[in-house]
Amino acid sequence: MTAAATPRPVTFGAFVPQGWKTELAGVGDVTAQWSKAVEVAELAEALGYDSIWVYDHVHNVPRPAHETVFECWTTLAALTQRTSRVRLGQMVGCASYRNPGLLAKITSNLDVISGGRLDWGIGAGWYEHEYRGYGYDFLPARDRIRVLRETVEIVRSLWTEPDTTYDGRFFTLSGAQCDPKPLQQPHPPILIGGGGEQLTLRVVARLADRANFGGNPEEFTHKCEVLRQHCEAVGRDYDEIEKTWSPEVFVRDTEAELRSVGGSTFGEPFDSWRAGNLVGTPSEVVDKIGHYVELGCTSFIPWCRDYPSTETLSRFADQVIPAFR
């Protein structure tokens, strides 16, 4: 008889406010805004979160607004020196924005300077305004996913092999070297974000250590089943891939307080936003997480809807996370 696999621990991450959702607009000048980002990163570590995360974007949403957006990798590099325990990730990097050879070097260096704390998130990209604004080719979705696949293959090779030669459709490398290698062995965890059922989840099945896709419980269950089918098709153990979720979170004690926020950052009405995110009283949020754990999700990385306030960040740590420790 084969021994049962040890259940994965349930882990929790927190986003650092970096301005993408214009959450820093009222904080003051850019120096004060950076101080707020550092403050939240340090607080999240002190509160016991397992990881801190940033977005890989350069323009605000839901539309560019000339508000501060701190860049992903320089932000994380700085935070390696202001934290000591908490892991560091991107939700998720855009494969189109950086040459994969350079990206391997950036990620490897960050793993070293953080003491082996990198969680590498990567996705195909979607924010067309950024692509156009910064001069990146906004390829059809199918090609952006091919870029994603080649990027992951190249980065993993550069992390683990002395030299990398690669001849792909979008990238060609000849004898590329990446030293120092990451501290984590065999390599930092690879998280692929996106729920495209025909292409993205097939790349996840082939190459990812972790998958990140959202949705209400029914949608999440469906995506998991699609991923399971892709794993079977490529000969991968579905249970090897950790399932993660990064909704918005907003925790208050009363219905009136909850409704005071209005809805999502993107303008989604309150009721549907609440149904698909971690919005509710502490006990309601505990129940929602418990349901997703039953569905197979073991890592939760929510974005606090009330930033720059740290009320939800603190309430979640004090009144929700302990239920899963």
CA separation, residue 91 to residues 28, 122, 212, 279, 311 (Å): 26, 7, 9, 20, 22
Q: E strand or H helix at 191, and its extent?
A: strand 190-193
pLDDT of residue 4: 46
175 — phi, psi (to 5°)?
Answer: 70, 35
pLDDT of residue 266: 85
Give Rg (Cα) of the chain. Answer: 19
Helix ranges restricted to H, the chain: 30-47, 72-80, 100-113, 128-134, 141-160, 200-207, 217-234, 255-259, 270-275, 282-295, 311-315
Rounded to an integer, what distance in angstroms lies between the CA atom of residue 86 and that of residue 95?
25
pLDDT of residue 183: 98
Domain extents in the chain: 11-324
Which of 94, 72, 206, 204 shows the shortest CA–CA distance to 139?
A: 94
Q: Report DSSP letters for 203-261, one per residue.
A: HHHHH-SEEE----HHHHHHHHHHHHHHHHHHT--GGGSEEEE--EEEE-SSHHHHHTT
pLDDT of residue 5: 58
Contact between 128 and 90 (Cβ < 8 Å): no
Contact between 92 and 121 (Cβ < 8 Å): yes
Rounded to an integer, what distance in angstroms lies between the CA atom of residue 274 and that of residue 249?
9
User: Quick one: what percent of the chain has pLDDT higher than 70?
Assistant: 98
**CATH code for the structural domain at 11-324:** 3.20.20.30
pLDDT of residue 126: 95
Structure confidence by residue, pLDDT tens digits, 11-26: 999 999 999 999 999 9
Cα dihedral 161/162/165/170 (nearest 10): 60
Structure confidence by residue, pLDDT tens digits, 170-205: 999 999 999 999 999 999 999 999 999 999 999 999
Mean pLDDT by 10 residues, the chain (325 residues): 65 98 96 98 98 97 94 98 98 97 98 98 96 96 97 98 98 98 98 96 98 93 98 97 98 96 90 95 98 97 97 98 96
pTM of this prediction? 0.95
Rounded to an integer, what distance in angstroms lies between the CA atom of residue 107 and that of residue 92?
13
pLDDT of residue 267: 86
Contact between 33 and 71 (Cβ < 8 Å): no
